[in-house]
């Protein structure tokens, strides 16, 4: 494989009353949380898919199938560490990751630095390697109507 590799990931989870809301490994107080087989961490799932995409290794669903009871309620940070291990095994390290969460409510800004720190810790990379942003979609579409949230991630890998 080449010396540098780019990857993109995208994920969506539905929101429902009374479920836990975990984004970037941060448990956020909110009346709704993600419907998911795992902990539903939409941001970390997008990042996993970006890493797998950079390596042309398929997607998170292929590696951690939601039909596997072993991944029920799984801590997505552990899945992320496993996925990054696949990159490290192949001689790659993360140059940087940039991510955006699309969500109407709650405001994510107060939690952004904790998300960055959690992700950097899971990957054992400096925190300035990891960018997390959040935006609303101006009350439009499924994120705007608070039916769900989405996340995009892009990564650049280089041979260490």
Q: Which residues bind Mg ion (CB under 5 A)?
A: 11, 45
| Nearest residue to 98 via CA among 82, 83, 112, 77 | 112
Please state, in angstroms and rounded to a whole number, the distance separating the CA atoms of residues 18 and 33.
7
Our CB check for Mg ion shows the closer of 80 and 108 to be 80
Our CB check for Mg ion shows the closer of 68 and 113 to be 68
The minimum distance between CB 160 and Mg ion, in angstroms, equals 28
Q: Say if strands 32-34 and 4-17 run parallel, antiparallel, or are unpaired.
A: antiparallel
Q: 131 burial class (0-12, 13-18, 19+ CB within 10 angstroms)?
A: middle
Neighbours of 132 (CB within 10 A): 25
The minimum distance between CB 126 and Mg ion, in angstroms, equals 26
Closest residue to Mg ion, judged by C-beta, is 45
The minimum distance between CB 134 and Mg ion, in angstroms, equals 17
Our CB check for Mg ion shows the closer of 23 and 87 to be 23
Our CB check for Mg ion shows the closer of 19 and 95 to be 19
The minimum distance between CB 90 and Mg ion, in angstroms, equals 24
Residue 65: C-alpha distances to residues 31, 37, 61, 135, 151 (Å): 28, 9, 5, 29, 20
């Amino acid at each position: 494989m080449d010396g540098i590799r780019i990857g993109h990931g995208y994920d969506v989870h539905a929101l429902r009353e009374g479920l836990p809301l975990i984004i970037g490994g941060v448990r956020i107080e909110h009346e709704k949380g993600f419907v998911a087989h795992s902990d539903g961490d939409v941001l970390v799932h997008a990042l996993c898919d970006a890493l797998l995409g950079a390596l042309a290794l398929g997607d998170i669903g292929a590696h951690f199938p939601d039909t596997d009871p072993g991944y029920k309620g799984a801590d997505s940070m552990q899945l992320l560490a496993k996925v990054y291990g696949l990159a490290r095994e192949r001689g790659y390290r993360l140059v940087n990751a940039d991510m955006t969460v699309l969500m109407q409510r709650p405001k994510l800004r107060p939690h952004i630095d904790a998300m960055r720190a959690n992700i950097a810790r899971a990957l054992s990379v400096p925190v300035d390697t990891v960018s997390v942003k959040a935006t609303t979609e101006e009350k439009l579409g499924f994120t705007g109507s608070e039916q769900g949230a989405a996340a995009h991630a892009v990564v650049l890998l280089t041979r260490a």
